[in-house]
Chain A
Amino acid sequence: MDSPGNQPKSGYIGPALFSVILHLGIAGLAFLGWSAHTPPTPVIPHMRAMVIDADALKQMTKPEPKPAVKKEEPKREDEQQKKQQEQEKQRQEELKRQEQAKQETERKAAAEKKREQEAIALKKKQEEERKKKEEEKRQEDEKRKVEEKKQAEEKRKAEEERKKKEAERKKKEEEKRLAEQKQKELERQMKEAREKKRQEELKKAEELKMAQEAAEYERRLQEQLEAESTAQRQQRELTEVEKYKALIYSALVQVWLQPPGEIKGLKTELQLQLLPTGELLSVKVVKSSGNSAFDQSAIGAANAVRKYSVPSDPSLFNREFRNVTIIFSPK
């Protein structure tokens, strides 16, 4: 700030410059900061609207009052004083005129300044007005926003509530459904279990039936075996017997060293006593061929078989193979 009374030029150039800068700054600020088109700032809860004091602003921007400006009415003195006074007067007048001119200029300047200030003030006022309006609008907006927010909140809450309720409902429904499902599952399982049990029972019954049938069959078979199929058993045993007969035959054919010469028509009958192990217990000539060498060859053959092939079935062995008749009669 200018110091008062120093270099009038600078005395008002400074403040003017200042004011210009200030104006520019404010304008810039306005332009930058308070543009209506600023994106809405996030609403801060409990935000207090601040009213800017226009007077304070005026005070801040008011140039300091010039002392010269406050001296206006000239003093009247005697003639000499008048002459002097005249001269003085003239000079005074001149001065006055100069003063007046100066004052005029100053006035003009002041007026200009005032006008400027007024313009500024107006502008400021307008600005303030605008700002106020803006503020109001902002506040209104804010309020509306708050309201809206509130409403939105409420709506949200309501929605949430609804949703919650819905969720709860759904949950309940789900639970219900689940419960139902569970119930159903349980029922199904029970049913299945019942079915399974039923099936098992059926199976058991079936098995039992089969077992009974098998037993019955077995019994019948046994009966058959014991009764009318003696012939069959005979057949089976016959086959066995034939098998061992063939084995004994081939064993004897292998070991029988026939005596040389004409032996056709000779016939030796031996009775062999065999043990279940296939060992030979005894050999007896039942019928001699009349040719002792031929008999001996037969006896030798019967004895030469290390082990006779006999059935392992003891009853069959006892019945058929304990005593075997071997007839040696070459073709």
Chain B
Amino acid sequence: MKKHIFFTLVLLISGLARADLVIEIDKGSREAIPVAVVPFANESGQPLAEDIAQIVTEDLKRSGDINPLDRTRMLSIPSKVEEIYFSDWARQGQRYLLVGGVQYDAPSQVYKVRYELYNVQSQQRVIGKILSGKSEKLRDLGHAVADAVYEAVTGIRGVFSTRIAYVTLEKSGSKNIYKLEVSDADGRRSQEILKKPMPIISPAWSPDGKKLAYVSFESQRPAIYVQDIATGTRTQVTSYKGLNSAPTWSPDGTKLAVTLSKDGNAELYVLDLRNNSLKRLTNHWAIDTEASWSPDGRTIAFTSDRGGGPQIYLMDASGGTPRRLTFEGRYNSRPRFSVDGKKVYYVHQRDGSFNVASLDLESGQDQILTQTEMDESPSVAPNGSMIIYATQKNGKGVLAVVGVNSGSKYTLPAQFGDVREPAWSPYISR
């Protein structure tokens, strides 16, 4: 009897032992991931207008989440799997390896960009694809490769094919030329949307990425416009007396939250674009402005000086009592919800300098993200991993990108004199 029990026990234990040993890994390091982007083989038989691998490298680097290997440190330039010595790359600490080639089909004038991403450790191909496009699309193909690689490596959708809108100021003698422009996310291939001698501010992308709302002073006083990017068609949506400013789109694209002082004081209103109805959200003697919709459309964050100085408040999108969110410092403004709705980014003044900061809504934990002096207008990339903002460099306005995860900074090459008011587009299907 005892023996029976004993054997049963033994069997039970050995049976348990036969189940795999389980080890749970609950932490790791969160550094930029080393990825080697090997120059693509030119198999087109002609010089290429664009260096695809270079575009990919710069895109990935700008994210701050990926640390591309410097080309000069590469021991070999493979373009196919059979040319890869994985151990070399592993020894150099690389986690991923991107190889590829560009071919050209003369009759159709189409370029074929082949790329393959390998996990250096497991030596397995992670992704691989062939993209096609004409000559003018080579940069797009490059960004598309970067997006694919970024997503494969980070799990986050790439934003290198998205666009940014911004305002430039050119001084020509005594005349100012304000331009609203849209460019690739890397600042290249910019196109002029609007050009005015009067200030243009606060561009805001519609959720579908097809329209821009903005404030223009072209008629001597601020008015809010919505413009179709592809067609150039523009509509003035508000033209009340006093302030008409800070338009932001509701997530469903049907409404604009705006700041109007038509009732004597700067208050928040929601303008329904479908029927032009206006709904007042705030009712306070202080200034209420710079609304930002939460991704679920339920909450609006805004700036108010009802506490004596500008601070961030939250309120229901349908109205109600605002609650103060920020308490650190005497100046907090220009809130923007993070993509996941868990954080609010804003401009925070500290020791006389203005920086981009973030505040975790759940924990109340705040964090300064930038260190330059005159940072303003933060705008979050649609994947939530980057923030573009305006800052000053050599006395001129430039655009900079900060990686939300890594904190890495990247200044976009200044194409023009003075750049301000950046707005990152949503994903755009082109």
Contacts and interface: CB of A to CB of B under 8 A. Distances in A.
Interface residues of A, number: 47
A254 B406 CA distance: 18
Contact of A327 (B9, B25, B96): B25
B4 interface: no
Interface string A205-232: 0000000000000000000000110100
Interface in B14-28: 14, 17-18, 20-28
A258 B13 contact: no
Contacts of B152: 292-293, 296
A303 interface: yes
A112 B331 CA distance: 186
Contacts, number: 140
Interface string B184-214: 0000000000000000000000000000000
Contacts of A230: 6, 9-10, 13
Nearest to B18: A319
Contact of B27 (A261, A296, A331): A331
B37 interface: no
A18 interface: no
B9 A257 contact: no
B25 to A, nearest CB: 5
A252 B25 contact: yes
A116 to B, nearest CB: 155
A291 interface: yes
B65 interface: yes
A252 B124 contact: no
A261 B384 contact: yes
Given A259-B153, A259-B155, A300-B119, A249 B13 contact: no
A29 B384 CA distance: 163
| Interface secondary structure of B, over-half rule | mixed
Interface residues of B, number: 44
A326 to B, nearest CB: 5
Contact of B28 (A258, A261, A325): A258
Given A299-B122, A324-B20, A261 B155 contact: yes
Given A292-B152, A293-B152, A299-B124, A257 B25 contact: no
A256 B21 contact: no
A257 B29 contact: yes
Interface in A103-131: none
A146 interface: no
A258 B154 CA distance: 8
7 contacts: A253-B28, A259-B154, A260-B65, A291-B155, A294-B155, A304-B90, A325-B23
